[in-house]
Structure 1
Amino acid sequence: MKYLLTIVTVCFNSEKTIEKCVTSVKNQLTKNIEYLIVDGKSSDNTINIIRKFQSDQIRLISETDEGIYDAMNKGIRNSQGTWIWFVNSDDYIKNGQVENLISYLKKLENYDCIYGDLEYVRVINNEFFMNTKKTTLDLKHLKNEMVMAHPSTVCKKDALLEVGVFDTNFKIAADWDLLLRLYNLHYNFVHIDTILSRFYCNGASSKPHILERHKVRKKNKSYKLIDVYMLKDVVKLVIFSILKPIKNKMLKK
């Protein structure tokens, strides 16, 4: 069966968060949506939790993989939807969010990628601090840095397959590399004025990985002789290291 949208969640040993995630998706499924969960052969109770929800529309793949992007590639290749949306295993979808997205997908069917805004969440001493970040409308800087949020981006399966899915040589920046390839090959992007995801700043992808970002720019020929943005990344890292403790103190007040 062909669906309009496939929601994909990749997970590994996610027993603490997976039930909330799956429940939030299950409660919003309609006949034109499928939910595909790709598990990396979890050794905790994750698989047992997921199996409680399995149905024709909620499918589980559980097998060893070579990391998060390898699992995401399995999600792409095994999906039956025209559009693909990755939802993190420690996230959940707010009520009405899927219905809102579906309305956009129907109106914007001539585009290849739709991207929205996101919420940033910081956890400090078990307290949650949240703020909204508007995503840029101008993607010309995508060649230099990740200016959009991958969890807030929904792309057509055909487009992802055509450009070669995620490059598993990257450990934290394959999402940027993939979106940059789509942009450089002139696939159509459009911004929607709605929040599609929240980003937990304590995750691996929130940490600085300057060398890998340099490799993405090199692979995609984003500079001619000198990667100036690598120097900017170093400066940003220094400033971030100085300001982060100050910002955290302000948030706790």
Structure 2
Amino acid sequence: MYNPKISIITIVYNDKIGLEKTINSVLNQDFKDFEFIVIDGLSTDGSSDLANKYIEHITKYVREKDNGIADAFNKGLKFCNGDWVYFLNAGDFFAENNTLTKIYNSFLSLSKSSIVSGKVKIVDVNQVPLGYNHPNGKVSIDDLLNRNIIAHQATFVKLEVFNKIGNFKPYKIHMDYDFWIRCLRSEIKFELIEEVVACFTRNGVSSFRKNYLIAVKEQLGILLNYSFISKFRYYKVYYSNFLYFSLKSLIRLLIGEKMTNIINQNRLKR
């Protein structure tokens, strides 16, 4: 059995344009010691036709109904044979054509850690940078207990970690955060690097606002579930965020969405 250095998993659902962007980004890498796994949740927009166009370059293509992002991730993991696993969703793409070469030679091949995580550059649907990265600025692994500082599009995980920790749980938004917290609790070693690994396409701003409190509730619930916070802190932080979200929505209504987005971008750049 061929054991590549990296297993790349791409999941897609009705994002034909984004999928082609991602596929080309993978195939244009000058590092070639990888397998490429594409999981399609029964797209109806022609994504499957597009995948078949590139099928000779795809190691494994699965097209079947799934139960969301976590389920799709877990399906991809079933087919991984690489030393390291990397998730690059449809619509996201590598920062440069030599990204994997740089990351593998400078970090993965040398690291004593089981998780190596860099940064993603945030771009809009036209691939125009919005002026900030995630995480933005210098962070340490202790910051993970306050917010999700790890972008899965910038993170490489040794396959053996999934055998020890288990796969992703069916959260709507924070399935990756739950996984990082389980790794932290099990003393899996992280290495945080400053390299920009990929570009993350930030779209659906209205959808993001709608899901804001869901994300907060999931994050706090994860920390509570693994005894990193108390119930008192859970409710205190949740209702603080509820008030913040309500006030922010009112301000957006009064001064307009465009001005609010400019303020948010300037805040994130700091």
For normalisation by structure 2, the TM-score amounts to 0.82
Alpha-carbon distance between aligned partners in 2 of 1:127 and 1:43, rounded to the nearest angstrom: 24
Moved more, 210-219 or 172-181: 210-219
Q: Report the number of matched residues.
A: 248
Percent identity, please. 23
Give unmatched runs, 5+ long, in structure 1. none
Which range moves more in the overlay, 200-209 or 76-85? 200-209
Code of the aligned partner of 2:259: I
1:135 Cα shift? 5.4
Match of 1:201 in 2: 202
| Contact 1:129–1:251 (8 Å) recurs in 2 | no
More strand by share: 1
> In the alignment, which residue of structure 1 is the partner of 2:27?
26
Structure 2 gaps of 5+ residues are 266-270
Is the contact made by 2:30 and 2:97 (CA closer than 8 Å) also made in structure 1? no
Q: Secondary structure at the match of 2:238?
A: helix
Tell me how far 1:245 sits from its aligned partner.
Answer: 4.3
Which structure carries more helix by proportion? 2
- 1:171-199 deviations in Å (ceiling 9; x for gaps): 11111010111011110000122101223
RMSD, aligned CA: 2.6
Following superposition, which runs of at least 4 residues in structure 1 exceed 6 angstroms of deviation?
none
1:225 counterpart residue number: 231
User: Residue 248 of structure 1 is aligned with which of 253, 258, 261?
Assistant: 261
Once the 2 structures are TM-superposed, how far is the Cα of residue 131 of structure 1 from its aligned partner?
Answer: 1.7
Matched, 1:189 2:190: yes
The answer to whether residue 41 in structure 2 is matched with residue 40 in structure 1 is yes
Counterparts of 2:118 and 2:89 in 1: how far apart (Å)? 16
Equivalent residue for 2:157?
155
- Is the CA contact (8 Å cut-off) linking 2:84 and 2:158 kept in structure 1? yes
Partner of residue 212, structure 1? 218
1:1-253 alignment to 2 at 5 Å? 1-28=2-29, 30-55=31-56, 58-93=59-94, 94-103=96-105, 104-108=107-111, 110-122=112-124, 128-133=128-133, 134=136, 136-168=138-170, 170-203=171-204, 207-208=211-212, 209=214, 210-226=216-232, 227=234, 228-238=236-246, 240-241=248-249, 242=251, 245-248=258-261
Residue 232 of structure 1 deviates from its aligned partner by 4.0
Residues in 1 aligned to 2:14 and 2:163: alpha-carbon distance in whole angstroms: 28
Superposition TM-score, scaled by structure 1 size: 0.87
Aligned residue type for 2:5? L
Q: Distance in 1 between matches of 2:188 and 2:49?
A: 40
Deviation at 1:57, TM superposition (A): 5.4
